[in-house]
Structure 1
Amino acid sequence: MTLYPIETGNFKLDGGAMFGVVPRTLWQRTNPADANNMIDMAARCLLIEDHERLILIDNGLGNKQSEKFFSYYYQWGDHTLDKSLAKNGFHRDDITDVFMTHLHFDHCGGSIVWNKNRTGYQPAFKNATFWTNENHWKWATEPNVREKASFLKENLLPMQESGQLKFVSRDQGPFLKNSELGFDILFVDGHTEKMMLPHISYKGKTLVFAADLIPTAGHIPIPYVMGYDTRPLLTMDEKAKFLETAVSKEYLLFFEHDAFNEICTLQTTEKGVRLNEVYNFNEVFS
């Protein structure tokens, strides 16, 4: 098995929305804001090369939305999904599986592109199976008012219409060992219904794709919860349990949305679990 970080593009979001009720005077210490209160964000995905399978975890915002849509997210830098894949010697047609932690547009927007004549949509990965879970699919395709703007039909329905959509099998509990994709999955419900966090055993370590449970290193303290979360009190409970396990099992956290920190370790302090060390991917897995 070989892992590759895949940078799909950077953008900005309102810092207050990203940290909920936590005051700016606190969160700006780790995530400094510009004059418009916007903080830098990444859309960092992960590619798993495992024998004949090439599995992409999440795929960023994509590029099919309107100019007005993207004007809200202040994209910056020159990262793209295709450039990042090519840098590692791959093409999107090589992808065999696309695993989506959840179906908010900044995690699955790259799944679907315009067709050749721009008359409709088609899967961006023509040879891939798209993986979500049945509970989350229903949640996303019958959205609540709070999340409706994050679940875009053009990102979702073409996956089903193409026949390329599959659901991950689930056990009764929140932790699924040895899924169809070859890694363990933790299901969490605070951010959105049944978000999936891959736990990947790699070179003697466990790397956890933290998705939106802990989107940046600045979100490690338990009260630092996004305003986007549908059940913030549940997020805090899920985060507390996860962090305790992460410290005891020495997990490495892989950040999807931290524009400057790729991976971190954790430590227990008088104030609870906190950041220990940060690394780029190659420092850990050279």
Structure 2
Amino acid sequence: MAHLLLIDALNLIRRLYAVQERPYLPLADDVADGTKQQIIRNTEAMLHQALTRLKQELQPSHALLVFDGRDSEWRKLLYPQYKANRKPMPAILADALPEIKQQAENIGFKHVHQDQFEADDVIASIAVKLAQHGQQVTIVSTDKGFLPLLSDYIHIYDAFGRQHQTIAAVQQKFGVPPEQLVRYWSLVGDSTNNIPGVNGIGPKGAHDLLALGATLSDALEHPDCHRKLREKILVDKEQIKNFMQILTLKTDVQVGLNLQDFRLQSKEKS
């Protein structure tokens, strides 16, 4: 059985970069070339270390770094405020990405992106397809948006905390199982993606509602659904549907890759 490591590339690289940039903050508008080069060299070294450690700890047979597409706008078309609270990628890092990708490839980690989609959708599509064929997948990311994918064949690993996410931990943290997370976040909000949720519904109200049915429609039709809670949901019904569509990862992106294309070699290239 294959074991594919799907790495949320910018989730990993941006955090490594931030650590290397920190000693030089605040950066002047005109940063010296030597400073830029030092930050990038340090980032590349830390990425090399992180990828090597992932290879040793998780023992994958295949690995792939997945980057965001340049024209991924479909979620913003549905909700213009989507991720509006996120800082843009630092220019120093953006300029160095081609070099960083090449350094990763030199040690056997190939990369991919699809112009019309975020990395999350590409990762989810590859993971679900392989899981359906009984192959093992480990997603490397700290993004909680992958948690709804947790299953026997799809694992999620935090490279910084150096631990696997578990269904029990999800239940304990959010009060719902992975398959209910998108509904839960659509109701209470998701600050990571700048989704506000439904006004007047907090975690308790969401937990009470989701405990009544597998879907929101089932829950609303349940005789124990509180009238005021039902009214709040119905007022914002279309917005909730919109939020659920935004927060649900696509699993049908056609990547057109062969698993053999990103098999890890036993030895690094010199």
Q: State TM-score, norm by structure 2.
A: 0.29
**Greater radius of gyration (CA):** 2
Higher percent of residues as strand: 1
